[in-house]
Amino acid sequence: MENFIEFTNVRKIYSMGEVEIEALGGIDFSINKGELVIIAGASGAGKSTILNILGGMDSPTSGKITVDNGSISSYNQKDLISYRRYDVGFVFQFYNLVQNLTAIENVELATQVSKAPLDVNQVIEDVGLTPRKNNFPSQLSGGEQQRVAIARALAKNPKLLLCDEPTGALDYETGKAILKLLQDTGKKTGMTIVIITHNLALTSIGNRVIKVKSGKVDSVTINPSPMDVEKVSW
C-alpha cells in the first residue's frame, strides 16, 4: 500500500520559557506498507521528535500526519490512547522493561492492551528467548533485554514497529543480531518497521532511507535491493 504513512509539512516547536526551539522545520515524507525504513541523522537533528510524533507520544505544532488512512494529527486524547495501545509497537534504546516481571510476563503485560495479540510463547520463541523466558531483566544481557522489548512490541500485533536507536546501548555483534532480528521480522511478517540510527553505515539495510538534518528532510533514498544485515559491517 502506497503512502501508508504520510508526513506533510510537519513542524514542531518546543517552548522553553522565553526560548523557542524548532525541532522540526517542515517535514515531508511518505512510507509504504511493509517497508523497513531507516531514519538517519546527527544527534539533535530531530529523529526522535519525528518518531514520537509518529507514535502518538507527541503532537506536532502544525502539519498533517496520516497512518493507514487515519489522520493522527487531528486525533483527540482518547483516539491517541487507542492508537498507541493497538496500532504502535515501540522499542527504545534502554529497553524500558518492568524490572519485577520476568521476560514472558513483560510480554504478557503488553498483550493485555491489545485487541488481537499474538501467542506470547510463539513470539518469545521467534525472538530466540525461550530458554530465558522465566528470567527477570536483571538476569539478562543487554541484547536479551532488547529481545524482550522487541517481543513485547510485536506481541501486541501492531500496525507499525518504531525503534529509536535500538542498538545504541549494545556492543557491535549484539547490535547486529538485533538488527537482523528486526530485518527478518519485517520480511516474515510484512510489518512496517521504522528504525532510527545515527550510524550511516546502516542505511543500506533499509528499503527506504530518510536522512534528517537540522529539523528538515535532507534526502529520501529508495533501495530496490536492501543489504542483508549479515553482509553489512561498520
Ligand X SMILES: Nc1ncnc2c1ncn2[C@@H]1O[C@H](COP(=O)(O)OP(=O)(O)O)[C@@H](O)[C@H]1O
The site for ligand X (CB under 6 A) is made up of 14, 16, 21, 23, 41, 43-49
Residues that bind Mg ion (CB under 5 A): 48
**Residue closest to Mg ion (Cβ):** 48
- Given the complex with ligand X, which of 88 and 212 has the nearer CB atom? 212
Distances (CA, A) of 212 to 147, 163, 194: 27, 16, 14
Which of Mg ion, ligand X, none binds 23 (CB below 5-8 Å, type-dependent)?
A: ligand X
Instruction: Tell me the one-letter amino acid at 85.
Output: R
**In this complex, which beta carbon is closest to ligand X, that of residue 27 or of residue 129?**
27
Q: Which of Mg ion, ligand X, none has residue 177 at its interface (CB below 5 to 8 Å by kind)?
A: none
Q: How far is residue 77 from each of residues 15, 57, 80, 204, measured CA to CA in Å? A: 21, 10, 5, 37
Q: How far is the CB of 52 from ligand X (least distance, A)?
A: 8
Looking at the Cβ atoms of 16 and 116, the one nearer to ligand X is 16
Residue 166 binds which entry of ligand X, Mg ion, none, CB below 5-8 Å type-dependent: none
Q: Choose among ligand X, Mg ion, none what residue 159 binds, the Cβ cut-off being 5 to 8 Å by kind.
A: none
At closest approach, how far in Å is the CB of 19 from ligand X?
Answer: 9
Q: How far is the CB of 173 from Mg ion (least distance, A)?
A: 23
Provide the minimum distance between the beta carbon of 82 and Mg ion in the complex, in angstroms, as a whole number: 26
Instruction: Give whichever of 44 and 190 is closer to ligand X, judged by the CB atom.
Output: 44
**CB closer to Mg ion, 48 vs 73:** 48
**At its nearest, how many Å lie between Mg ion and the CB of residue 164?**
6
Q: Which is nearer to Mg ion, 22 or 108 (CB)?
A: 22
Three-state SS letters, the chain: CCCCEEEEEEEEEEEECCEEEEEEEEEEEEECCCCEEEEECCCCCCHHHHHHHHCCCCCCCEEEEEECCEEHHHCCHHHHHHHHHHHEEEECCCCCCCCCCCHHHHHHHHHCCCCCCCCHHHHHHHCCCHHHCCCCHHHCCHHHHHHHHHHHHHHCCCCEEEEECCCCCCCHHHHHHHHHHHHHHHHHHCCEEEEEECCHHHHHHCCEEEEEECCEEEEEEECCCCCCHHHCCC
